[in-house]
Amino acid sequence: MYTCVQAFSRKHPLACWLSYMLVVFAGGMCAGALLGEPILAPLKNTPQVVVATLVWYIIFYTPIDVGYKIAKFLPVKVVCSAMKEIYRCKKVYDGVSHAAKVYPNAYVIMVIIGTLKGNGAGFTRLLERLIRGVWTPTAMEFMQPSFGPTDSTLAFRHDRRVIKYDRDV
């Protein structure tokens, strides 16, 4: 692990943990804020918070950076990336479904909520950097979207059809 990251995690463990939780649960927090629901609602799922905390602890605090080295090992990284993309599809579907229940005929809102649920971390990166003390206002996801928001937005087309048929049944 980079020495500056390791030094920061040792010096400011609470800020590191808050930053990590913001990244992990960013989609639900952003979507909740836009839909007028509690922002901290994603944190009410205790098993997910415990698993996220365990992963954070293993990555940052195992001796000799064993957790980080295992996570960076290519076969493990490929499996984790595949699982992440499958879970992203589930989040986009859940976001579009939830927005369809709240606003049945508002397709633009469905796109926005599905995109935020699918890649909330990309949109909260500015706030997460502020928590860590690294303020970079020029690095905005809206100006230079990465793969996540683009993929999440394109996935809406398929999810909208599925929801339309679910409503007809």
Structure tokens at 168: 């007809």
Mean pLDDT of the chain: 81
The pLDDT of residue 8: 78
Does the pLDDT at position 109 exceed 60? yes
Long-range contacts of 159-165 (CB under 8 A, 24+ apart): 159/92, 159/93, 159/96, 159/97, 159/110, 159/114, 160/96, 160/107, 160/110, 162/93, 163/96, 163/97, 163/100, 163/110
pLDDT in tens, 61-92: 888 889 989 999 999 999 999 998 999 999 99
pLDDT band at 25 (very low <50, low <70, confident <90, very high): very high
Measured CA to CA, the distance from residue 11 to residue 4 in angstroms comes to 10
Please state the rounded mean pLDDT for residues 90-109: 91
Structure tokens at 83: 């699982």
* CA triple 118-119-123, angle to 5 deg: 145
Measured CA to CA, the distance from residue 50 to residue 68 in angstroms comes to 19
pLDDT in tens, 117-166: 988 888 887 777 777 777 666 665 555 666 555 555 565 555 555 555 45
Measured CA to CA, the distance from residue 23 to residue 102 in angstroms comes to 25
- pTM equals 0.72
Measured CA to CA, the distance from residue 28 to residue 16 in angstroms comes to 20
The pLDDT of residue 19: 84
